[in-house]
Copies of this chain bind each other. A is one copy, B any other.
Amino acid sequence: MTKIKDIGEQGLLERLQRFCPPEIIGDDAAVLVTAPEQSLVVTTDVLVDGVHFSNMTTSPEDAGWRSAAANLSDLAAMGASPLGITVGLGLPGEVRVSWVERLYQGMTECLQKYNTSIVGGDVVRSPVTTLAITAFGQVHPSQIIRRSAAVVGDAIVVTGVHGASRAGLELLLHPELEQNLKDADRKTLIHAHQRPQPRLDVLPILQKILTPNSCTDAINRVSTPNSQLPIAGMDSSDGLADAIIQICRASGVGAILERRQISIPAAFDHWLTQEQALEYALYGGEDFELVLCLSQESASALVEYLGEGAAIVGKITPGSTVLLHDEQKKFPDQVLSLSQGFQHFNSYEL
């Protein structure tokens, strides 16, 4: 059982090089070719053992996949295609080399699915296993998706179901919950937690739907440099409620959500109460779907393209309140606030 302290930094770096494209190894920094007229998009995440992942619920492969997926999801949320990631690792000497290799295996499995790779990194000694990922991507300036561009009347679209990742985590932490659940459903929910899919696949669909005359005239598909796609959005990594509240704050608008339109996993139906299901969907976090605000017409087209799970869940309103509404009036209107949201830093005692 070889440990990090047995092979040192150089030994570990040599073993990890097989996870990187050979052409980027060996200099002080990695060099990447970017397409002309694209802007660079950069995002970074720090993950700490015991805070953001744990060997109890997460294999090193899954921790790797999830950390890569979270960063790719941030790129997708901006409308950007990935160029690569860098990985900074802090490791206690007692960590097994195989643990690190399995972590990298999980990261590269996720990255390969989206045609990207680890292009650089750093490995250092640390008393606690720490993973710092920076992802960079590129986007044409006209196709940047920002939180601040929602306008009154926009439909709010989710690209998939919410609550699955949180349910999967609960099943891992409390296996006794699986009693009333079909085995296939249990596996699906746990998979949603362990192997979330960043929605980079949504980007070409958005271009198709939002670019004028896209169906009739291929030449017009590329919008002119200064015309901004009529869309706002972000990802739902910190929960669906958080995403909608953040978009509303940044755009200076409010929103009304239709309680029964929020798409949840089919498995929830006979397993959770309506309230519990809604709680997971709104505040569970880490589903890594996109929450997008766009015209009603475009929203309908998008939901149709995306199929199952995608839904129009509400619309943008004047004011600043985010309201949860029940069209069947069984539940009173409820104001959503961030204080119930998913905040890594505050959710643990410091």
Contact = CB atoms under 8 A, between A and B. Distances in A.
Interface of A: 4-5, 8-10, 12, 26-34, 36-48, 50-52, 73-75, 77-78, 80, 83-84, 86-90, 92-94, 119-128, 130, 132, 134-137, 139, 141, 144, 146-148, 234-235, 250, 343-346, 348-350
Contacts of A83: 40
Nearest to A127: B128
Nearest to A47: B124
A100 to B, nearest CB: 13
A147 B27 contact: yes
A87 B32 CA distance: 20
8 contacts: A4-B350, A28-B43, A33-B39, A42-B120, A46-B124, A88-B88, A126-B130, A127-B128
Among A32, A39, A234, A345: residue with most chain B CB under 10 A: A345
A10 B50 CA distance: 21
Contacts of A148: 26-27
B86 A44 contact: yes
Contacts of A73: 28
A350 B250 contact: no
Nearest to A124: B46
Given A28-B147, A43-B86, A128-B128, 12 more contacts: A26-B147, A26-B148, A27-B148, A29-B80, A32-B39, A32-B41, A33-B39, A42-B120, A46-B88, A52-B124, A128-B130, A136-B136
A29 B88 contact: no
Stoichiometry, as copies per complex, reads 2
Contact of A51 (B48, B125, B346, B349): B125
A50 B92 CA distance: 13
Contacts of A10: 343, 345-346
B31 A41 contact: yes
A133 to B, nearest CB: 8
Contact of A345 (B80, B121, B123): B123
A40 B32 contact: yes
Contacts of A94: 350
B126 A348 contact: no
B8 A343 contact: yes
A336 to B, nearest CB: 16
Contact of A90 (B42, B46, B80): B46
A344 B9 contact: yes
Contacts of A42: 29-30, 32, 84, 86, 119-120, 134, 136
A92 B40 CA distance: 32
A122 to B, nearest CB: 5
B77 A29 contact: yes
Contacts of A31: 39-41, 78, 139, 141, 144
